[in-house]
Amino acid sequence: MPLSDTMYCSEQIRIPPELPSILKNFTKAAIRTQPEDLLKWAVEYFTALSRGEALPVKDRLEINVASQKEAELTPGLLKTLHKQLSMRQTCSRDDLQNEWKDLCLPEDQLDILLSLGSFGSEIEWMEFFALGCSSLGGTLFGSLKFACEILTEDKEDGSDPRIPFDTFAQIYTYLAHLEGDMPQEEIDNFLGCLQKQTELQNGMIRPVDFILGEHTPLDSSSLTRDASRSE
């Protein structure tokens, strides 16, 4: 079929008024998130946008100076997962795997975290979140520091991220039990000391409270990142 010779002028082409804003927001989101597979991520972005769901977008650009062939979990990506999956207390394993893939994260890293937590088809989200922090932090108090930085609702100036003490206690208790060699009495005493301090801070806790506190037992604690730990 021969091509039409019809000519169009700019007055005949209608550009939806919301299109420039949509494309601008998409471009900024792609730059911040730096997806490994841009086309696949774009599909998930616009699907979530059309459904009014949380977008697979990081809050800010994270520059990784190390050269990597494959993406890895970062604080920004863990925060994105938290926004997408924390609406309920639990999430399905399938939903987590789908969101993980949408962010182009490596499946073997997810498999390790799922193995460490011995999760089934339904996953307690804050437990998985705690394991995600442990993969970032290395040590127990390093994991808790990342939890504060990711969960804080304070302005992101990085100076003094605060979270509710109850949230901190939940994450700390789970990771301490996973560590396996910390007596319950020590856990309770540590949290009791911190709670007295946070009562003076409207129930909020900061990294300086537990990293520099004189009662902290965290200095020698760490979580093994190897999947064999769960065997």
**Paired strand residues for 124:** 90
Spatial contact of 182 and 221, defined as CB atoms under 8 Å apart: yes
Please tell me the predicted confidence (pLDDT) of residue 101: 87
Q: From the DSSP assignment, how many helices (H) and strands (E) are in the chain?
A: 10, 4
The CA distances from residue 189 to 169, 173, 198, 210, in Å, are 12, 12, 14, 13
Strands, E assignment, 16-113:
90-92
Mean pLDDT by 10 residues, the chain (231 residues): 55 74 80 77 86 78 48 88 91 93 87 91 95 88 92 75 94 88 87 89 90 49 36 38
84-94 b/e with 16+ CB inside 10 Å = b? bbeeeeebeee
Distance CA(65)–CA(46), nearest Å, equals 29
pLDDT at position 178 = 84
Measured in residues, the chain has a length of: 231
- What is the rounded distance in angstroms from the CA atom of residue 165 to the CA atom of residue 150? 15
The answer to whether residues 165 and 204 touch, using CB atoms and an 8 Å cutoff, is: yes
DSSP state of 19: H
Distance in angstroms (rounded) separating the CA atoms of residues 231 and 227: 8
pTM of the full predicted structure? Answer: 0.68
Question: 117: how many CB neighbours lie within 10 A of its CB?
Answer: 17
CA 109 remoteness from chain centre: 14
Do 224 and 178 touch, CB atoms closer than 8 A? no
- Rounded to whole angstroms, the Cα distance separating 16 from 14 reads 6
